[in-house]
Structure 1
Amino acid sequence: MELKWVLLLGLLLPSCSGCAIGYKFVKSICVDIDECLRDESPCSDHMKCVNSLGSYTCICALGYQQTSNAKCEDVDECVTQSLCGENAQCFNTPGSYYCTCDEGFQSNPANFIATEGQCVGEKKCVNTIGSYRCLCPEGYRESRPDSACEDINECSDPDVCGTNADCYNHPGGYSCRCHQGYSNYGNNQSKCIEMNCDHFEPEHTPEKLKHLMSLLKNSCESLNDTQGEHVTGETLLETLFTSTDDLLSDGNLADGEALSQFLDAVENSMRLIGPQLKEPVTRMETHNTYAEVAVTRNQTPPSGSVSLSTDSALFNTSWKTVVGESYPGFAFVALVSYKDLNSSSDLMHKIIRERSDDVERDITYQFNSKVVTAVVSNPETKHLSEPVTLIFTHEQERAESEDMAYTCMYWNDAEGAWSGRGCKRVSSNSTHTVCSCNHLSSFAVLMALYPIKDSFELVLITRVGLVLSLVCLFLCILTFQFCRSIQGTRNSIHLHLSVCLFIADLVFLCGISSTHNRVACGIVAGLLHFFFLSAFCWMLLEGVQLYRMVVLVFHTTLKHLYMYAVGYGVPLVIVIISAISYSQGYGTDSHCWLSLDRYFILSFFIPVCIIVILNCFFFIITVWKLAAKFSSLNPDLSKLKKIRRFTMTAVAQLCVLGGTWVFGFFLFQENGTEVMLYLFTIFNSLQGALIFIMHCLLSKPVRVEYYHLFARMCPHKKKTEYSTSQSNSSQKPLRIDGSTGESEI
């Protein structure tokens, strides 16, 4: 046995030295000793014994009060004149009082107590207006008027105990002794129902509940032994919730099978424990559970409504629903609330979709109430004759909107998923939701989060920006490939970056909405995953090259093999591993992109975060080194202009090559989401245009090449114009090294 279970059941399981004080050893377990049932009462005169777990308490009987020396003394009720009224005399008796009317007045039943000795034998005196009656106690009757009381033989009625028990008559009452395999849960004057102890087989329960199930099975089997003693219902209830606390704290309910076994174990346990509770209403709260149980025992079935409440829900039904078709003489109803079940289970992706629009829209579900289990003594609860009502308190106050609605759900054991069949939402506001269900199970209120539909403005900005970027990226590719004056390592990086962005934007524009074909959608998502990651890897190479040029060595290059390994090899490895681990993550019901299930989106998000952070680091170090180098030079105006121009170019380049994606990190914030969404869409759809402006239009060598090309295409231009422009454009801001094509900076 594990140490934690030894500590958990220490009061119930016998140790080497025997049971604790106030407990005794019965059927391999320690049960409470009822000291109040001894032949000699442990309490002194005028005191009443009240049993408790492992001990007892003595309290003063009715009509007595406790003094400072812990003794009970009689209460003189006649001190209060209003008890008998103005026209009567009050006479105090030990533990009570009686009233005698003045001459000319008759007694009021509420104020008159007949004196003892007026009824003979076993008859009890019952006061009436101006007189009294002597009646036989319960279980007795008069054989003839004014005769003594005789015992009623209840066993003469063959239906009093039913066919599953033997009836035994005794003075003033009777008892039903159940047949083997049946029990009345200790209610000796109730009919016996069939027992099924197989529900508590340890082999079919989670490992953490096996010890508890073993204890419950022993208790279940001991109910057939009318001569033996068994653990009280209160003790079993406390043990049940202590065990569930331990299980929920460990968070071992991450799959549907484990959750189904746990909820079934709680329901079966409450069916065993509920009828054994002594009090009409029992409440119990532990660290992770809160329960309320109502029990009734009577010869006639109860009527009316019954309501139970916990810290997070209210359950309302009728006693007719609780009892069902047959009434054995007792009935119970229980409501159990789990405080941490929603945080310890990751089952929100298991939702049975009943509505057609749920399939069309990628809905995300979240708990907004605690999970509760409703149990009644009626064994047939799959189709109730009248629905039950549950009112849930929301965990967080939030009103319904276009993108969020509340849904009443129950846990479907057969499907191992949350379902809404048979439950409907009656009403809802920001704090409460009212649910009506025609069956009983474990219930919760879930928030259905609908994806925000793209507005016309966002779609227009995206499409226009992507078309413009595709045109600009195509011009960039031609420029970087054929412009000889800018050939070098950085130019190669810019070329491959433009190629990756061009393909990614083209695939995005043509296939992001191809959700009708699951295979094609997965291919589109895979291509976007690869080419966007590849673009970011080339952005990282741009930052590394800038760092090497300025900080390490001014004339440096990166080998093309290393660049290809980082720019294309790393993204390829990430995509292959992602596809092998969870291929269903490529493509969703709404877009051909990476799924949010199982955190699959992190296969793109984490590498992007790392690259953006590294590029920020490279940029800061580079600018800091440049400022330190140029601070020692003469503040020549031309040099200062070069420094300022270079710094502005570097800042703009940082924004173009990854900085704009920072806006995407704030899309899930509560404040400013719409603003960030528009900024993210505008900057990233125009990323190709920004690259063309930065590295082509603002580059003087590229402008010279453009002018040469334009002059050849337009020969009617004046030669003097061409010569002057060529002379001016040949004045390079930085000396170019012939071997590498890189600027000195």
Structure 2
Amino acid sequence: MELKWTPLLFCGLFLLSSASRNCKIGYKYIKPGCDDENECVENPNICGNHSQCINTNGSYYCNCNEGFRSTASTTNFTAIDGQCEDINECAEKTFQCSEHLVCVNYIGKYACECPRGYRRLRGDPECEDIDECADVADLCGSHANCNNTQGSYSCICHRGYSNYGNNQSKCIEMNCEQFNETHHTPEKLRSLLSLFMKRCESLNDPDGDHRLGEELLENLFTSADEMLSEGNLADSETLSQFLGMVENSMHLIGPQLKEPVTRLETHNTHAVVAVMRGETPPIGSVILSTDSAHFNTSWETAAGKSYPGFAFAALVSYKDLNTSRDSFSGLGRISQVEGNITYQLNSRVVTAVVSNPETKHLSDPVTLVFKHVQERAESKGMYYSCVYWNETQGAWSGRGCVRAWSNSTHTVCSCSHLSSFAVLMALYPIKDTFALVLITRVGLVLSLICLLLCILTFRFCRSIQGTRNSIHLHLSVCLFIADLVFLCGISSTYNKGACTFVAGLLHFFFLAAFCWMLLEGVQLYRMVVLVFQTTLKHLYMYAVGYGAPLIIVIISTIAYPQGYGTDRHCWLSLDGNFIWSFFAPVCIIIIINSFFFIITVWKLAEKFSSLNPDLSKLRTIRGFTVTAVAQLCVLGGMWVFGCFLFQEEGTQVMLYLFTILNSLQGALMFILHCLLSKTVREEYCKLIGRVYTQKEKRYSEFSTNQSSNTQHPLQSDQSTRESKI
């Protein structure tokens, strides 16, 4: 029996032991039962800093030290309820210092001390003034006199020096001569220089009128905005004066600004200025941003080695500032590429200024991030570079600026000096390959021969005379002249006048060719849809074929005369979308002709399905339609490829397709309208037959004469002594 109950006894004892170890919160098991847990010992930092932990039976509570109060609603609290925070006795005015002392709060306590600029001598309850001028050597620098005052001091600058109204800063030299006028200074710039000259001179005088920097900043960029709007900065000398004046003015304005960051935006300018003041030089980075650029430098760079008590950094962006071609002359070639390089700014011009006067050779380069005006990725024919405006040379220069990286939208520049900067886009001439030149020349010569045959055929072949033949004749003439001008003058870029004339001729005759194609579409429409109106008056055809292109060329010449001729070819310029003075009419003609040809084919299909007995005429019209549609596809498709080619990035496939179709268009015309025409082939056969028959006749007559001469010998004329056959 005892053995049987033993397991039950062990189980009961185990359950009893487990139940005894299940203690309440705040207690822990200590054999043989539960006892209070001392949370203050187990977790010494349970109440946090500046407090005391008091243990209780089954719990604890916290009390704040003197000079601190609980964030909880009660004095006795737990870590869950709150913590201790400092009591600012000075702000709450829980006590009062004597009249000569001021309250200074510390963590957990307070003290009554002498005001700034005073100190208490040992054993003396009252405060006495500190003579900063005597205690601190060279407090105001070597260009000022230090004047001690009660509780403070002031620096009185020598003549020609100023601390910009901050009487406790060191004095720096004022160079007011930089605002002097010259006989080349524009009128708008003269009034602004006069204003800043007066302001500079007033800073030299301690008793002068100290105007706020914000007002000067507004005056500067209001005048700058007017100059940019009126376009008074066309030449390099005026631009150098303008940018130099902005830089010098910012050195005068920056120290006078009261706010830490000042922004000003006008119609054509955007300026951001950051200012820091203090007894010690500021540290850290400073980033200034406008809508078109970012300027990243450090306060150490802005302050420089000689810290006068303030430091500033400024970024100015010009929204409408163009430079002449002469300003790119001093750049040279960025890489060794044959041919001339075209330079173009692809960012807004910015001026970066800091208070440090020594910025010609910075030990820590500054970073400028530019947003591109025109989004364009680099390629074989285009390269981005970082440049600055060299006022001495009056041109853009890349010295001291390195491009960190660039994509289609932004360029990052790292520069070891400060000035006015921009991103330059260098466009390299892409030299045509030998294969393209060979295809073009051989194809054009072949086209000229074929077009000449077309002209002779359409002019003298009587069996095909008619309205449609006249259209083909003038189309061939236009293409012949255009191809001849293209072959002889497309590369005449060395002579600007001749190049402009060649581009104008190409514009006119290629447009005229498409206008005659439009007339062919109209003629087919009239032949099929308007059956009884199968002819067009020649006057109307000449007005459309030659008058419309002439009007377009005249308007284009008046609107944008510099659009004829480029640096590479004597063709239409891509600037200002001028190329669309050709492509827009071409696209309109192709769309209209496509509409006419669709209706024509539809009507022909209806007539063939009705089994019209006049099949010979229908087959003739069908042949005309097929050749016209093929002609539109060939000649129109050629310029569709050309439209894609003249974009910023033309592929090699498009380039070769355009070149082949353009150079062989005369040969294709000859094949479509002559060799594929049964009537023309018959005329060619008759002509060849007549020529061959004529040759046989001449050969037969020659043979007959030779045989007669062998039977009748020469007879001598005694009077003249001459022989006769």
Partner amino acid, structure 2, of 1:593 = C
Alignment of structure 1 residues 344-423 onto 2, 5 Å:
351-352=328-329, 353-355=331-333, 357=335, 360-361=338-339, 371-384=349-362, 387-392=365-370, 400-413=378-391, 418-423=396-401
Of residues 148, 151, 154, the one that matches 1:172 is: 151
Match of 1:610 in 2: 585
Deviates more, 1:691-700 or 1:284-293: 284-293
Match of 1:74 in 2: none
Structure 1 residue 681 corresponds to structure 2 residue 644: no
Of residues 636, 645, 662, the one that matches 1:667 is: 645
Counterparts of 1:428 and 1:623, CA distance in 2: 49
Match of 1:534 in 2: 509
Contact 1:283 1:293 in 2 (8 A): yes
Match of 1:596 in 2: 573
Contact 1:299 1:329 in 2 (8 A): yes
Counterparts of 2:522 and 2:95, CA distance in 1: 111
1:374, distance to aligned residue in structure 2 (A): 1.0
Alignment of structure 1 residues 190-269 onto 2, 5 Å:
190-194=170-174, 196=176, 199=179, 220=200, 222-224=202-204, 226-227=206-207, 230-234=210-214, 237=217, 255=234, 263-264=243-244, 266-269=246-249
Contact 1:271 1:377 in 2 (8 A): yes
Contact 2:282 2:303 in 1 (8 A): no
1:653, distance to aligned residue in structure 2 (A): 4.0
Of residues 646, 662, 667, the one that matches 2:624 is: 646
Alignment of structure 1 residues 49-64 onto 2, 5 Å:
none
Partner amino acid, structure 2, of 1:91 = G
1:435-464: CA deviation from partner (whole Å, max 9, x where unpaired): 222321232334545565556665554344
Partner amino acid, structure 2, of 1:424 = V
Contact 2:467 2:535 in 1 (8 A): no
Structure 1 residue 692 corresponds to structure 2 residue 670: yes
Alignment of structure 1 residues 421-436 onto 2, 5 Å:
421-428=399-406, 433-436=411-414
Contact 1:256 1:417 in 2 (8 A): no
Match of 1:271 in 2: 251
Structure 1 residue 501 corresponds to structure 2 residue 479: yes
Contact 1:335 1:374 in 2 (8 A): yes
Counterparts of 2:650 and 2:113, CA distance in 1: 81
1:263, distance to aligned residue in structure 2 (A): 4.6
1:658-704: CA deviation from partner (whole Å, max 9, x where unpaired): 56324323335589855544443332222101211122223334222
- Relative to the length of structure 1, the TM-score reads 0.63
Partner amino acid, structure 1, of 2:253 = I
Partner amino acid, structure 2, of 1:534 = F
Q: Which has more radius of gyration?
A: 2
| Structure 1 residues 606 and 387, CA gap change in structure 2 (3 angstroms) | same
Counterparts of 2:109 and 2:390, CA distance in 1: 64
Counterparts of 1:285 and 1:82, CA distance in 2: 52
Match of 2:538 in 1: 558
- Between the aligned residues of both structures, percent identity stands at 54
Partner amino acid, structure 2, of 1:152 = D
Counterparts of 2:453 and 2:695, CA distance in 1: 24
Contact 1:337 1:371 in 2 (8 A): yes
Partner amino acid, structure 1, of 2:457 = T
Match of 1:84 in 2: 50
Alignment of structure 1 residues 714-733 onto 2, 5 Å:
714-715=692-693
Counterparts of 2:635 and 2:378, CA distance in 1: 40
Contact 1:525 1:592 in 2 (8 A): no
Of residues 167, 170, 173, the one that matches 1:188 is: 167
Structure 1 residue 710 corresponds to structure 2 residue 671: no
Does the residue aligned with 2:569 lie in a helix, a strand or coil?
coil
Of residues 305, 315, 340, the one that matches 1:335 is: 315
1:425, distance to aligned residue in structure 2 (A): 1.2
| Structure 1 residues 426 and 577, CA gap change in structure 2 (3 angstroms) | closer
| Structure 1 residues 197 and 233, CA gap change in structure 2 (3 angstroms) | farther
Partner amino acid, structure 2, of 1:90 = E
| Structure 1 residues 416 and 562, CA gap change in structure 2 (3 angstroms) | farther
1:175, distance to aligned residue in structure 2 (A): 1.7
1:275, distance to aligned residue in structure 2 (A): 0.5
Counterparts of 2:94 and 2:130, CA distance in 1: 23
Counterparts of 1:557 and 1:155, CA distance in 2: 108
Counterparts of 2:340 and 2:204, CA distance in 1: 53
Contact 1:522 1:587 in 2 (8 A): no
Does the residue aligned with 2:166 lie in a helix, a strand or coil?
coil
> Unmatched 5+ residue regions in structure 2?
1-45, 53-62, 70-85, 698-725
Contact 2:382 2:427 in 1 (8 A): yes
Counterparts of 2:467 and 2:381, CA distance in 1: 49
1:707, distance to aligned residue in structure 2 (A): 0.4
| Structure 1 residues 359 and 500, CA gap change in structure 2 (3 angstroms) | farther
Does the residue aligned with 1:307 lie in a helix, a strand or coil?
strand
Counterparts of 2:226 and 2:504, CA distance in 1: 43
Match of 1:154 in 2: 133
- Relative to the length of structure 2, the TM-score reads 0.64
| Structure 1 residues 480 and 563, CA gap change in structure 2 (3 angstroms) | farther
Counterparts of 1:656 and 1:592, CA distance in 2: 24
CA RMSD in angstroms comes to: 5.8
Partner amino acid, structure 2, of 1:277 = L
1:330, distance to aligned residue in structure 2 (A): 3.0
Q: How many pairs does the alignment contain? A: 611
Of residues 441, 461, 467, the one that matches 2:419 is: 441
Contact 1:547 1:619 in 2 (8 A): no
| Structure 1 residues 415 and 575, CA gap change in structure 2 (3 angstroms) | farther
Does the residue aligned with 1:534 lie in a helix, a strand or coil?
helix
Deviates more, 1:172-181 or 1:218-227: 218-227
